[in-house]
Amino acid sequence: MSKLTVTIDHKKIEIPEGSTVLDAARAANVYIPTLCDDPLLEPFGACRLCVVEIEGYRGLPTACSTPATEGMIIHTSSPLVEVNRRTSMNLLLSDHPLDCQHCVANMDCDLQSVAAFVGVREQPYQGERRAYDIDESNPFYGRDLEKCILCGKCVRACDELQGRQAISFGYRGFASKITTPFDLPIWDSTCESCGRCVDMCPTAALYDKSAMKHGTHTGETRTTCPYCGVGCGLVLETRNGEIVGARGDRENSVNEGHTCVKGRYGWEYVQHPDRVKKPLVRQYLLDGKEKSKVTDRKSKDWDFVETDWDTVLNITAEKLATIRDTHGADSIGFMTSAKCLNEENYLMNKLARQVIGTNSIDHCARL
Amino acid sequence: MAGLATTYGSGAMSNSMDDIAANAAAFFIIGSNTTEQHPVFGTKIRRAIQKRGAKLIVADPRRIDITDLATVHLQQKAGSDTALINGLMYLILEKGYEDKSFIAERTVDFEAFKEVIQDYPPEKVSEITSVPVELLHEAAEIMGTSQPMAVMWAMGITQHIKGVRNVMALANMQMLLGNMGIPGGGVNPLRGQNNVQGACDLGGLPNVFPGYQKVTSEEVQKKFAQAWGRGTELKVGKTLTEMIPDVEKGETHALYILGEDPVMSDPDTKHIRANLEACEFVILQEIFQSETAIYADVLLPGSSFAEKTGTFTNTERRVQMVRQAINPVGDSRPDWEIISDLAKRIIARTPRLLPLTAPHAGWDYPDTAAIMAEIAALTPQYSGISHKRLENGERLQWPVRDENHSGTPILHVGQFASGKGKFMPIEHIPPAESPDKDYPYIMSTGRVLYHWHGGQMTRRVKGIMEAYGEALVEVNPEDADNLGINGENAIRLTSRHGSIDTKAWVTDRVPPGMVYANFHFPDASANELTHASLDPVSKIPEYKVTAVKVEKI
């Protein structure tokens, strides 16, 4: 790909042809505030915060939607730019609730951090407010349109990334809002709850219901989703040794941050009270009885009793060794697991073949 | 994946998801509900159709979600896939769309195959499949003119008594069109579970050691005997669908079940329950007291994916890191630790196995990276894979031949794993069960978007239960009217094998005469109704065609 050279804030930089001014700024490590841009989405030019001055250009073009050309000289923080984007920000905030302390996005809000960068410290325009009911119809996320700044990221994520078009801009002027067909609750739309709109929302207009329960997470672990065979990269968010959230891993080429409903919202089972926390063994085994003597499965003999690892593994090892020596290796069947790690599957195969001596090992690939 | 292994010498997905989404001019999806079962790949396909105008042919008895975007939807009768595929190939040959140079240079046995295809003219195929002749022509034209075309399938193709034949028929189709070994083409079985691919790759099959090295090969046995100090007998072991029923025959005495729930996921539940109950010793290693736990003598609490470090291999053969995010819950332990601990205790009771002097005989693994090093030493496809490379951010799809090899995004480039691709003459055979007076409906089974397999995980997520909280059986509005079903009242489904009570979702996703049930909920699991007729080669049960009766109760 051929290259071109531009100058940003007196810094010369070489960028691939086809880049936008915003791409060039990112490559040069020059920060341009924006609320409607995402590298995965087509440029949109809605928030007007990425305006720049370009020598020889009239007015203030938006960096996200202006293609960079050879020799371009760009200024990202001239007095004219600063004044202009402060006005844009003031207008954006004129009908935005400013009770940040009680907002689920507090400290994790693009609107907040961009406002801080732009230098907005008060709310000069006290405009009319838009009053909407919060739509909580979706089990996984809520929609609080009073906080919406109409950046359109959710609409574009649903269209360009999820290919679903469940939501769109509706109405006009001040009454504009993001809506479903016929303005029905989101749960009655074609939404598949992938959560990408929530992921991209720069405010708390879209928020995960799980995030309402706790404060910000303190740890992150990049891993692979446990559900289907696509193998999406996930980032597990943790706090106090528990998972409190999950999102797609943008650095994983398989999904580039995308997930389905199960990947993003299906992690609760990990910490469900039903988890087996101690080894369990039937009472008859602890009593050294024969299984054939346990005729009634409702009797005490068949009770599952909590025990320690030594006890359960010794009983198991003894039984397997005895059955192998009495009935032959092929009398033991191994079902390994398509949910477990590669390393664990290898060990099951080694246990069956090396230690027991049978090829009778299989898993649910057929089911 | 016995079908692909016979034809091409390798049973795995040939191309990568990204490659298909970016380069295929057409997609042929048959027996895969891609947008609900592989949702993120499904979105990539949607984008390719909506944003760059790729063509889509869907063959599915149900009007599944992605059919809304299909250029052509072939709504074949359940169990008539082979006839449909052969019929399309008949038209491809008739129109001269076949890739003559590919056939000549890279394949064998074309003539015998062609002879069989001549028995599938459109009128006859239309009769077997109930797909209109015009739609067959339309689909064949897209296949012949929009190249490359990628073929995707899942259990809708394999869960039949003739699953292997279906797969071979699709393999024939892609050779006929010259769509193998190129970007945007290929044969692409989508793996259902997160690590089915890895479980197959690493010896979780009765006929092969890790890396698909045959247990019936003396050379392979020698290799593992040298590495482990001991090999196995030169005979194929039992499949899952054989080892459980063998309890009643007195041939299986113990079962070690790791992270599986056969009571929910295996066919003919009643029969499975009886066998598990009769088994002398059942070891279950699980994170929950699943339905199968009722029959377990011991339950070893393993850990979830969030509590351990290691790797999964995805459907496109990509090996990826899984990393520990939280400590194991309670006293549970990572499964690899439990297995090695148990192995050491059995060995201690088996003096003939000692001493463990062979290079890979031991069971002292400090971590899963050490296990992966042993895998790499013994598994040709994984030779160049290590946790270190993955942690360095390398993206590796097997085969990875050595530590400098960067992996293989597309299989069968230039030549097939087995040399030449083999055309297989495949005839259509009808399903084992067909509807009759007493059981007039065809039931197919599968999963829904919100749930997962036996439901052990997803039934324990509050939001998911709000979204989809009970087993619903899809019934066509026409049938619902005739039966007096409205979606509110209880209905009973009965097959020759069992019966469940549940509710209907009245929807035209299913055609008249067909119902669709899932197996996510233990009180109304579709597998109470399914039968254990197996494909003779792959031993996969025929989940997709069961004759049932539907009543309002």
Q: Are B211 and B180 members of one domain?
A: no
Plot region of B45 (φ>0 → left; ψ -120 to 50 → alpha; else → beta): alpha
Q: Kindly determine whether residue A342 and residue B206, on different chains, have CB atoms separated by under 8 Å.
A: no
Same structural domain, A145 and A85: no
Nearest Cα residue in chain B from A258? B40
Minimal Cα–Cα distance from B42 to chain A, Å? 9
CATH code of residue B286: 3.40.50.740
Quickly state the pLDDT bin for B61 (edges 50, 70, 90).
Answer: very high
Domain boundary among B190, B208, B224: B190
Question: Do A53 and A13 share a structural domain?
Answer: yes
Domain contains B420? no
Q: CA-CA distance, A261 to B243, in Å (whole number)? A: 35
Query: Are B215 and B358 members of one domain?
Result: yes
Q: Tell me, what's the pLDDT at B265?
A: 79
The pLDDT of residue B155: 81
Q: Give the distance, in angstroms, between the CA of residue A24 and the centroid of all CA atoms in the same chain.
A: 27
In a domain, B43, yes or no: yes
Based on the fold, state whether residues A266 and A298 are members of the same structural domain.
Answer: no
Helix boundaries (H) for B107-232: 110-117, 122-129, 133-145, 155-158, 163-176, 196-201, 218-228
A342 neighbourhood in chain B, CB within 8 Å: 195, 198, 201-202, 310-313, 319, 372, 375
Q: Is B416 part of any domain?
A: no
Q: Phi/psi zone of residue B419: left (φ > 0), alpha (ψ -120 to 50 degrees), beta?
A: left
Do B393 and B468 reside in the same domain of the chain? no
In a domain, B452, yes or no: yes
Please indicate, yes or no, whether residues B219 and B312 belong to a single structural domain of this protein: yes
Chain B residue numbers with beta carbons less than 8 Å from the beta carbon of A192 are: 35, 39, 449
Within a domain: B403: no
Residue B10 has pLDDT above 70, yes or no: no
The mean per-residue pLDDT over the stretch B326-344 comes to: 97
Let me know whether A81 and A8 are in one domain: yes
Place of tokens 């939501």: A167
Residue whose C-alpha is closest to residue B17's, from B208, B150, B207: B150
CB contact under 8 Å between B395 and A262, yes or no, is no
Helix ranges (H only) for chain A are: 21-27, 79-93, 110-118, 153-156, 196-200, 261-265, 283-286, 309-327, 342-350
| Residues B86 and B31 both lie in one domain | yes
Q: In the listed set B157, B175, B190, which residue is the last one of a domain according to the structure?
A: B190
Domain that holds residue B526: 441-552
pLDDT at res. B202: 96
Whether residue B95 sits in one domain with residue B26: yes
Write out pLDDT tens, residues B66-105. Answer: 999 999 999 998 889 999 999 999 999 999 999 999 999 9
Q: Is residue B150 part of a domain?
A: yes
Whether residue B323 and residue A252 make contact (CB cut-off 8 A), yes or no, is: no
Say if residue B288 is in the same domain as residue B182.
no
Model confidence over B121-145: pLDDT tens digits?
Answer: 999 999 999 999 999 999 999 999 9
**pTM higher than 0.95, yes or no?**
no
Residues B521 and B538 in one domain: yes
Residue ending a domain, among A44, A66, A93, is: A93
Within this chain, do residues B379 and B478 fall inside the same structural domain, yes or no? no
Where is pLDDT greater, at B532 or B34? B34
Q: Which of B1, B194, B238, B353 to mutate to test the interface with A (most CBs of A within 10 A)?
A: B194
Give the model's pLDDT for residue B497.
87
Q: How many domains are contained in chain B?
A: 3
Is position A201 within any domain?
yes
A228 contacts B38? CB cut-off 8 A: yes
pLDDT of residue B263: 86
Domain's final residue, options A161, A191, A212: A212
Do the domain assignments include residue B18?
A: yes
What is the rounded CA–CA span in Å between residue B507 and residue B485? Answer: 12
Chain segment B463-490, per-residue pLDDT in tens: 888 888 888 899 999 999 999 998 888 8
Using a CB-CB cut-off of 8 Å, the residues of chain A touching B324 are: 221
Largest CA distance in chain B: 72
Q: How far apart are CA B166 and CA B506, in angstroms?
A: 30
Is B299 an 8 Å CB contact of chain A? yes
Residue A163 structural domain: 130-212
Contact B42, B450 (CB under 8 A): no
Q: Are residues B182 and B33 in the same domain?
A: yes
Note the pLDDT tens digit of each residue in A227-251. Answer: 999 999 999 999 999 999 999 999 9
Look at A140 and B449 and tell me if their CB atoms are within 8 Å. Answer: no
Q: Are B396 and B385 a contacting pair, CB within 8 Å? A: yes
CATH code, A137: 3.30.70.20
Q: Is the pLDDT of residue B160 over 70?
A: no
Verify that A237 and A291 share a domain, yes or no: no
CATH number of the domain enclosing A37:
3.10.20.740
In this prediction, residue B2 carries a pLDDT of 60
Q: Mark yes or no for CB contact A270/B306 under 8 Å.
A: yes
Statement to judge: residues B218 and B296 lie in one domain:
yes
At residue B528, the pLDDT reads: 84
CATH of the domain at B16: 3.40.228.10
CA distance A204 to chain B (A): 19
Q: Which residue of B has its CA nearest to A271?
A: B329
The total domain count for chain A is: 4
Contacts of A347 in chain B (CB under 8 A): 336, 339-340, 343, 371
The verdict on B205 and B297 lying in the same domain is yes
A230–B40 C-beta distance less than 8 A: yes
Q: A345 and B464 in contact by Cβ < 8 A? A: no
What are the chain A neighbours of B243 within 8 Å (beta carbons)? 333, 335, 360, 362
Domain termination residue (choose one: A223, A246, A275): A275
Tens of pLDDT along chain A (367 residues)?
689 999 999 999 999 999 999 999 999 999 999 999 999 999 999 999 999 999 999 999 999 999 999 999 999 999 999 999 999 999 999 989 988 989 999 988 999 999 999 998 888 888 788 899 999 999 999 999 999 999 999 999 999 999 999 999 999 999 999 999 999 999 999 999 999 999 999 999 999 998 888 888 999 999 999 999 999 999 999 999 999 999 999 999 999 999 999 999 999 999 999 999 999 999 999 999 999 999 899 999 999 999 999 999 999 999 999 999 999 999 999 999 999 999 999 999 999 999 999 999 998 766 5
Is there a contact between B55 and B27 (Cβ–Cβ < 8 Å)? yes
